[in-house]
Chains A and B, each alone.
Chain A
């Protein structure tokens, strides 16, 4: 019969059986598959994990800071800046991140090849490495998606709240800092949290431009040992744990700030 079902009791019989089945599967994965490589690569895996997390948090913060003006000018104008910002968001959201990353890394690289004099400047130690390009690509991508969200958030703050602030004699700067910005951010937070998890799942792409993140370490293990699936299983498990931790963190925060998203 068609009927909406109630959520099952957390310790329903079938769940206990399911958990047992998964324990057995887990036991076989641990004992039957090959994990002898794990101790040897553990230090590298830690380093890779650290790089992945650094990529995630730095680009989320930088991307968000860039998203604020991108969203704001689309609401306040001037018109031509708003158009420019909207165009940027469309471009980022309309093309694959992998392509953007390769355009930035190899495209700029092919231009750099024509200017050997760059190699004598102070920028060269940074231009040489891969991580600045990866950070740039991931930041622009996050800003593109989040800029669109912030536009909606800025536009959606009720006019009455802004007018109340103005009536109290707040200057435009104070009004922005005390009312408009915090209200817009709190409106955007639920979406922002979803985007952070999407960003986490985008970080492995940086391995294709020689940044040694967690995914790159796993690739090296696969190439060194010729073991195909076990390292990938471990990688999937690590990402599941990371996603789970982030989700828990967001849930905890959501409970602390009940007005979020309103």
Chain B
């Protein structure tokens, strides 16, 4: 029996080592259509502002990076377990997340926005939210925000895996409103589906403790050297103008915020 088990061990070891690759950094992001940040196209490629930023930051920092699509709710576990090395997926820098992972300086900022079914105004106030069914993506700052500020008054908070599924249910009328990144919802409201079904209710009042201070690159707490490189790269891009050049391709205002 020993020889059979030894054979099995060797075979499986070969199997694993064969696929081990050169040390390029894996950058995790949620593999879902999230325009204009990350969009899959019909040829299987990813494009969008965040994808461009991944390539630009890595180039500036002279790092070899590859895209590693990972489900949104698996990003932090994947980072901790070493499956990916960085998160660049519209993840806000919050104190809660900082307890488990580290963040670079912010590389853009997006406020929260409430979008509701057409003809039904749902302002982001406890009175406006009263009795409504709200859809959010689980594990986002917006989910925490809705739970904290409106948790007592809404009829139900439904949690989804991806924002495009929330939007689909908003169009179907299964939920009354959603709170999400304003920049992503702008794109949805301009689409055919969005135009027909939904309306904006403006930005939500700020709550830095929950919504955080901008979007940063998620990193392991032990990777301080990498953090230094990323921060330097973001600063260099801000200074040499390549940041605003890239941003201009997607946005007609300053996405960096104050």
A226 touches B193 (CB 8 A): no
B138 touches A113 (CB 8 A): no
CA distance A118 to B171 in the complex (A): 13
B173 touches A116 (CB 8 A): yes
CA distance A106 to B165 in the complex (A): 8
Is the CB of B80 closer than 8 A to any CB of chain A?
Answer: yes
For B99, give its contact among A109, A113, A223, A226 (CB under 8 Å): A226
Is the CB of A119 closer than 8 A to any CB of chain B?
Answer: yes
Which one of B37-45, B156-164, B200-208, B209-217 contacts A? B156-164
CA distance A222 to B138 in the complex (A): 10
26 A-B interface contacts by CB (under 8 A): A106-B165, A109-B168, A109-B169, A109-B171, A109-B172, A110-B168, A112-B172, A113-B197, A116-B173, A128-B133, A128-B173, A128-B174, A129-B174, A130-B158, A130-B174, A210-B158, A216-B159, A220-B138, A222-B73, A223-B73, A223-B143, A226-B76, A226-B96, A226-B97, A226-B99, A226-B100
| Chain B residues in 8 Å Cβ range of A210 | 135, 158-160, 169
CA distance A223 to B140 in the complex (A): 9
Contact string against B for A residues 191-210, beta-carbon threshold 8 Å, 1 for contact and 0 otherwise? 00000000000000000101
A228 touches B80 (CB 8 A): yes
Q: How many residues of A contact B (CB 8 A)?
A: 21
CA distance A113 to B165 in the complex (A): 13
CA distance A6 to B135 in the complex (A): 58
B173 touches A113 (CB 8 A): yes
| Chain A residues in 8 Å Cβ range of B172 | 109-110, 112-113
Q: Hey, which bits of chain A sit against chain B, CB under 8 A?
A: 106, 109-110, 112-113, 116, 118-119, 127-130, 208, 210, 216, 219-220, 222-223, 226, 228
A119 touches B173 (CB 8 A): yes
Q: How far is the CB of A231 from chain B (nearest CB, A)?
A: 11
Among B80, B138, B171, the most chain A Cβ lie within 10 Å of the Cβ of B138
Please report which residues of chain B, range 86-139, place their CB below 8 angstroms from some CB of chain A when the two chains form the complex: 96-97, 99-100, 133, 135, 138-139
| Chain B residues in 8 Å Cβ range of A116 | 173
CA distance A118 to B160 in the complex (A): 23
CA distance A129 to B212 in the complex (A): 32
Q: What 6 A-B pairs have minimum CB-CB distances, sorted nearest first?
A: A223-B139, A109-B172, A113-B171, A228-B77, A226-B100, A113-B172
Q: How far is the CB of A48 from chain B (nearest CB, A)?
A: 13
